[in-house]
Amino acid sequence: MIIIYILIHTVHLLSAFMYGGFLFVDFFFLSKMSQTLNPEEQSRAREAIMMHVRKVVPYSLFVAVGTGVYLISQIFGEINDGGLSRFQILLLIKALFGLWLGIRGFNQKVFKINPWVFTSHTLPFMLVLSIIILSQLMYA
C-alpha cells in the first residue's frame, strides 16, 4: 500500500511541477515578450508555444488534481473532538485552491468555457504559489 502511495505522490508532484512550471514561465517570461517583439511577432511566438502547451499542461493539471484528491483521502485523518487540526485546515485550504484550478482548467479544456474574470494566468500562478507555501506550513 505504501508503494502505491509513493507512486501516486510522485506522479502528483511531477504533474504539479509541470503545471506550475508553465505558469512560472508564462508569468515571468512569456508575458514580457511585448518588450522585445512587435505585436504581430509576439502573437505568432506565443501561439507557437501555446499550441504545444495546450497538448500537455491541461492534462497535467487534471492529473495533479485527481492524484491530489486521492492523497487527501489517505492523509486527512480523523477529526478529533476539538475540531480540525492545523494540518487539516491547511490541507483543506490547499485542496480548495487546487479544486478551483482544476474546475477552471476543466471548463476551459473540455467545455471551451473561458473565464469571464481572471483571464490571465496571474491568479492561477498566485494560487500555485499559495499551495506550495501551504504545503510547507502544513508540516511545520
Task: Show the domain range for 34.
Answer: 2-138
Q: Is the dihedral of CA 109, 106, 54, 41 positive or negative?
A: positive
Whether 75 and 37 have beta carbons less than 8 Å apart is answered as no
How many domains would you assign to the chain?
1
Per-residue pLDDT of the chain (140 residues), as tens digits, is: 899 999 999 999 999 999 999 999 999 999 899 899 999 999 999 999 999 999 999 999 999 999 999 999 999 999 999 999 999 999 999 999 999 999 999 998 998 887 766 678 889 999 999 999 999 999 88
Rounded-to-integer distance, Cα 106 and Cα 60, Å: 11
Whole-structure pTM value: 0.89
